[in-house]
Amino acid sequence: MTPTTHPDSIARRRLDTPDVDVVVVGAGFAGLYLLYRLRSLGFSTKVIESADDVGGTWYWNRYPGARCDIESIDYSYSFDPEIEKEWQWSERYATQPEILRYLGYVADKHDLRRDIQFSTRVESATWDDNASLWRVRTNNGDAITCRFYAMATGCLSLPKTPDVEGVKRFRGASYYTGRWPHAGVDFSGKRVGVIGTGSSAIQSIPIIARQAAELTVFQRTPNFSRPAYNGPIAAEKKAAFATDPAAYRHAAKWSRAGVPVEPTLMQALRVSAAQRLAAYEAAYAAGDLLALGNAFADIGANPEANETVGEFLRGKIRAIVHDPETADALCPKDHFYGTKRPCLDSGYFETFNLPHVRLVDLRKDPIKTITETGIDTASRSFALDAIVFATGFDAMTGAIVAVDIKGRDGLALADKWNDGPKTYLGLMTTDFPNFFMITGPGSPSVLSNMAVSIEQHVDWVGACLAYMRERHLDVIEPTPLAEAAWGQHVNDCADITLFPRASSWYMGANVPGKPRVFLPYIGGVDRYRKACDEVVQRDYLGFAFDGAAGARCNDGVICRLQPDVAMLIDIMAELGLPAIDTLWVADARAFSVAMAAERPPGPEVGAIADGVLPGAAGALPYRLYRPAQPGPHPIVVYFHGGGWVLGSADSDDPFCRDLCVRSNAIVVSVDYRHAPENRFPAAADDGFAAVRWIAANAESLGGEPEQLAVCGWSAGGNIAAVVCQRARDAGGPRIAGQVLVTPATDCDFTRASYVTNGDGYLLTSALIHWFWDHYADPADRENPKASPLRARNLYGLPPALVVTCEFDPLRDEGAAYAAAMAAAGVSVRHLDCRGQIHTSVISVDMILSAAGARAEIGNALRQFFGTSPAAEQSALRVALLSSRAESAV
Ligand X SMILES: Cc1cc2nc3c(=O)[nH]c(=O)nc-3n(C[C@H](O)[C@H](O)[C@H](O)COP(=O)(O)OP(=O)(O)OC[C@H]3O[C@@H](n4cnc5c(N)ncnc54)[C@H](O)[C@@H]3O)c2cc1C
Residues of this chain that bind ligand X (CB under 6 A): 25-31, 48-51, 56-57, 59, 61, 66, 68-70, 75, 121-122, 152-157, 200, 399, 403, 438-439, 449-450, 454
Distant-in-sequence, close-in-space partners of 71: CB < 8 Å, separation ≥ 6 = 92, 93, 233, 237, 259, 288
Residue 639 · residue 670 · CB < 8 Å = yes
Q: 546, 555, 549: which is closest to 408 by C-alpha?
A: 546
Determine the Cα–Cα distance for residues 322 and 318; give it in Å rounded to an integer: 7
H or E element: which one contains 592? helix 585-597
Provide the minimum distance between the beta carbon of 389 and ligand X in the complex, in angstroms, as a whole number. Answer: 14
Determine the Cα–Cα distance for residues 197 and 110; give it in Å rounded to an integer: 38
Choice between 153 and 678, CB closer to ligand X: 153
Angle at 28 between CA 453 and CA 164, to 5 degrees: 95
Angle at 372 between CA 370 and CA 376, to 5 degrees: 35
Q: Helix (H, G, I), strand (E, B), or coil: what is residue 279?
A: helix
Choice between 56 and 300, CB closer to ligand X: 56
Q: How would you list the strands of the sheet with 552-554, edge to edge?
A: 473-478, 543-547, 552-554
Choice between 52 and 86, CB closer to ligand X: 52
H or E element: which one contains 874? helix 870-876
Provide the minimum distance between the beta carbon of 59 and ligand X in the complex, in angstroms, as a whole number. Answer: 6
Provide the minimum distance between the beta carbon of 237 and ligand X in the complex, in angstroms, as a whole number. Answer: 16
Provide the minimum distance between the beta carbon of 399 and ligand X in the complex, in angstroms, as a whole number. Answer: 4
Residue 691 · residue 723 · CB < 8 Å = yes
Determine the Cα–Cα distance for residues 539 and 534; give it in Å rounded to an integer: 9
Provide the minimum distance between the beta carbon of 723 and ligand X in the complex, in angstroms, as a whole number. Answer: 57
Choice between 340 and 589, CB closer to ligand X: 340
Choice between 56 and 433, CB closer to ligand X: 56
Provide the minimum distance between the beta carbon of 200 and ligand X in the complex, in angstroms, as a whole number. Answer: 6
Choice between 151 and 360, CB closer to ligand X: 151
Distant-in-sequence, close-in-space partners of 203: CB < 8 Å, separation ≥ 6 = 63, 64, 65, 66, 67, 343, 345, 346
Residue 697 · residue 622 · CB < 8 Å = no
Choice between 217 and 815, CB closer to ligand X: 217
**Sign of the alpha-carbon torsion through 5, 8, 11, 17:** negative
Q: Which ranges in 46-192 belong to alpha helices (H)? A: 57-60, 81-86, 96-109
Q: How far is CA 732 from CA 262, 596, 635, 680, in A?
A: 57, 35, 16, 22
Provide the minimum distance between the beta carbon of 372 and ligand X in the complex, in angstroms, as a whole number. Answer: 30
Choice between 290 and 475, CB closer to ligand X: 290
Q: How far is CA 82 from CA 79, 102, 855, in A?
A: 9, 13, 56
**Sign of the alpha-carbon torsion through 530, 533, 539, 542:** positive
Angle at 585 between CA 579 and CA 589, to 5 degrees: 80
Length of the chain: 889
Choice between 339 and 554, CB closer to ligand X: 339
Determine the Cα–Cα distance for residues 520 and 508; give it in Å rounded to an integer: 10
Provide the minimum distance between the beta carbon of 345 and ligand X in the complex, in angstroms, as a whole number. Answer: 13
CB atoms inside a 10 Å sphere around CB 283: 20
Determine the Cα–Cα distance for residues 771 and 203; give it in Å rounded to an integer: 61
Residue 191: alpha-carbon gap to chain centroid: 44
Provide the minimum distance between the beta carbon of 545 and ligand X in the complex, in angstroms, as a whole number. Answer: 27
Q: How far is CA 428 from CA 30, 375, 475, 517, 555, in A?
A: 16, 44, 12, 18, 15
Choice between 158 and 558, CB closer to ligand X: 158
CA neighbours closer than 13 Å in the CB half-sphere of residue 772: 22
Q: Helix (H, G, I), strand (E, B), or coil: what is residue 720?
A: helix
Phi/psi at 471 (5° precision) = -100, 10
Specify the long-range contacts of residues 573-580, CB closer than 8 Å, at least 24 apart: 579/764, 579/766, 579/767, 580/646, 580/767, 580/770
Choice between 177 and 562, CB closer to ligand X: 177
Provide the minimum distance between the beta carbon of 412 and ligand X in the complex, in angstroms, as a whole number. Answer: 15
Choice between 63 and 672, CB closer to ligand X: 63
Choice between 28 and 702, CB closer to ligand X: 28
Q: 623, 639, 634: which is closest to 695 by C-alpha?
A: 634
Determine the Cα–Cα distance for residues 506 and 504; give it in Å rounded to an integer: 5
Choice between 202 and 816, CB closer to ligand X: 202
Determine the Cα–Cα distance for residues 807 and 568; give it in Å rounded to an integer: 14
Q: 332, 444, 429, 446: which is closest to 394 by C-alpha?
A: 446
Provide the minimum distance between the beta carbon of 402 and ligand X in the complex, in angstroms, as a whole number. Answer: 6
Choice between 50 and 456, CB closer to ligand X: 50
Provide the minimum distance between the beta carbon of 429 and ligand X in the complex, in angstroms, as a whole number. Answer: 17
Provide the minimum distance between the beta carbon of 48 and ligand X in the complex, in angstroms, as a whole number. Answer: 5
Provide the minimum distance between the beta carbon of 400 and ligand X in the complex, in angstroms, as a whole number. Answer: 8
Choice between 519 and 624, CB closer to ligand X: 519
Choice between 138 and 339, CB closer to ligand X: 138
Provide the minimum distance between the beta carbon of 520 and ligand X in the complex, in angstroms, as a whole number. Answer: 12
Choice between 154 and 647, CB closer to ligand X: 154
Q: Which ranges in 376-524 belong to alpha helices (H)? A: 398-401, 413-416, 450-470, 480-495
